[in-house]
């Protein structure tokens, strides 16, 4: 289902942190979009977000968005446990869908939602914004263009400046489905191949309360790709120096790597050291432009009737990898993804 209109009328479901980001972008920086309505279970939050962005309508019931014939597409930013259900309902309403990651933590629920999208013939894009970051995109281009030859090794470093509250940890789905899921997606995106097997070494080295909540805060995951590439993902919930986001790919003809983003390019040199300011400390600062770019890509895909750049399968695969990573840790062995898919 496509539209020939000059712009796309959008409804947002969820006016929390990421919903506010998308609302601001759609209202001010995406000329082909018109933000028509914002819904949140807290009508007060919906009204505040709408007022801030000049949106004419705010509602508490998301079904009011789905029932609105003037809405062409829906941006799903509600809590994770509602994503699959709202994706299904939105598809049944005949509206295109942008859904924040993950679609769900349960593979059966994800599959049912994707089936509903396919039956309805609407477009779906999953919110893996890091694909749209200029640094990561340049690494992908270096691989696609053969600048480093055949990739052999991938190393992703992804460390947060501080862990989230324990109340969030308890409902997050765990380290692998909350944090590492971005890195699983990035691994597939950069290498352009599927992962067949994972092995996890992990522990609780940052905060014992995270372990008491049943989660982990430090991990290394080894990936075996179908094309022979070997990857490693290095995660920590606390990097005292800031938000640490680096990648290196080594290949037969060379390598490519990206460093962290900094608030400035100043280097201070004196008799004792050469130093600079710490990296950006918050993911919203580090990835501001990528959030805007992913939304522009979604609007363009609908209006121009082209494929969305992050598909439903792209939403499913990292969840499979996350489940396999936890299974590997729990069972102290490598886990092939087919084991998880066959469950």
- Which residue segments constitute the domains of the chain, with CATH numbers given? 8-122 (3.40.50.720), 131-286+318-341 (3.30.360.10)
pLDDT score of 253 more than 60? yes
Name the pLDDT band for 125 (thresholds 50, 70, 90).
very high
pLDDT score of 42 more than 90? yes
In this structure, what token pair is assigned to residue 190? 């950069």
pLDDT in the model for residue 287: 87
Name the pLDDT band for 26 (thresholds 50, 70, 90).
very high
**pLDDT (tens digit per residue) in 170-212:** 999 999 999 999 999 999 999 999 999 999 999 999 999 999 9
**Looking at the whole model, is its pTM more than 0.85?**
yes
Q: What is the arithmetic mean of pLDDT over 127-154?
A: 97
pLDDT score of 1 more than 80? no
Q: What is the arithmetic mean of pLDDT over 244-259?
A: 97
Using CB atoms within 10 A of its CB, is residue 117 exposed (0-12), middle (13-18) or buried (19+)?
buried
pLDDT in the model for residue 3: 56
Question: For residue 320, what are the contacts with CB-CB under 8 A and spacing of at least 6?
Answer: 107, 337, 340, 341
pLDDT score of 259 more than 60? yes
pLDDT in the model for residue 285: 77
**pLDDT (tens digit per residue) in 273-300:** 999 999 988 777 788 899 999 999 999 9
CB atoms within 10 A of CB 274: 8
Strand partners, 28: none
Give the whole-number percent of the chain exceeding pLDDT 90: 95
Per the listing, tokens 């309403």 go with 93
Instruction: Please say whether the beta carbons of 325 and 221 come within 8 A.
Output: yes
Q: What is the arithmetic mean of pLDDT over 82-96?
A: 98
Name the pLDDT band for 343 (thresholds 50, 70, 90).
confident
pLDDT score of 61 more than 60? yes
Q: Which of 140, 100, 135, 92 is nearest to 116 (CA)?
A: 92
What DSSP line would sit under 165-193, residue for residue? PHHHHTTS--HHHHTHHHHHHHHHHHHTS
Average pLDDT, the chain: 96
């Amino acid at each position: 289902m496509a539209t020939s209109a000059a712009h796309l009328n959008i409804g947002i479901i969820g006016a929390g942190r990421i919903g506010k980001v998308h609302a601001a972008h759609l209202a001010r920086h995406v000329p082909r979009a018109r933000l028509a309505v914002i819904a949140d279970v807290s009508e007060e939050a919906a009204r505040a977000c709408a007022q801030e962005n000049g949106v004419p309508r705010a509602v508490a019931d998301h079904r009011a968005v789905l029932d609105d014939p003037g809405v062409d597409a829906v941006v799903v930013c509600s809590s994770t446990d509602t994503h699959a259900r709202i994706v299904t309902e939105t598809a049944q309403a005949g509206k295109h869908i942008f859904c924040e990651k993950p679609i769900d933590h349960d593979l059966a629920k994800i599959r049912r939602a994707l089936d509903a999208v396919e039956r309805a013939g609407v477009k779906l894009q999953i919110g893996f914004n890091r694909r749209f970051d200029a640094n990561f995109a340049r690494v992908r281009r270096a691989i696609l263009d053969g600048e480093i030859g055949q990739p052999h090794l991938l190393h992703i470093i992804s460390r947060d400046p501080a862990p989230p509250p324990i109340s969030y940890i308890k409902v997050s789905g765990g380290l692998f489905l909350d944090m590492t899921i971005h890195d699983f997606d990035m691994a597939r995106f950069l290498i352009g191949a599927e992962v067949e097997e994972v092995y996890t070494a992990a522990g609780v080295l940052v905060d014992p309360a995270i372990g008491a909540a049943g989660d982990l805060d430090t991990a290394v995951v080894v990936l075996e790709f179908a094309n022979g590439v070997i990857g490693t993902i290095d995660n920590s919930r606390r990097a005292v120096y800031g938000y640490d986001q680096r990648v290196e790919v080594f290949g037969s003809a060379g390598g490519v790597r990206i460093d962290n983003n900094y608030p400035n390019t100043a280097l201070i040199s004196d008799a004792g050291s050469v130093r600079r300011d710490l990296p950006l400390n918050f993911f919203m600062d580090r990835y501001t432009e990528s959030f805007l770019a992913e939304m522009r890509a979604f609007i363009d895909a609908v209006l121009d009737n082209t494929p969305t750049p992050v598909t439903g399968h792209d939403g499913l695969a990292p969840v499979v990898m996350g489940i396999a990573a936890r299974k590997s840790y729990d069972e102290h062995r490598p886990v092939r993804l087919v084991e998880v898919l066959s469950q």
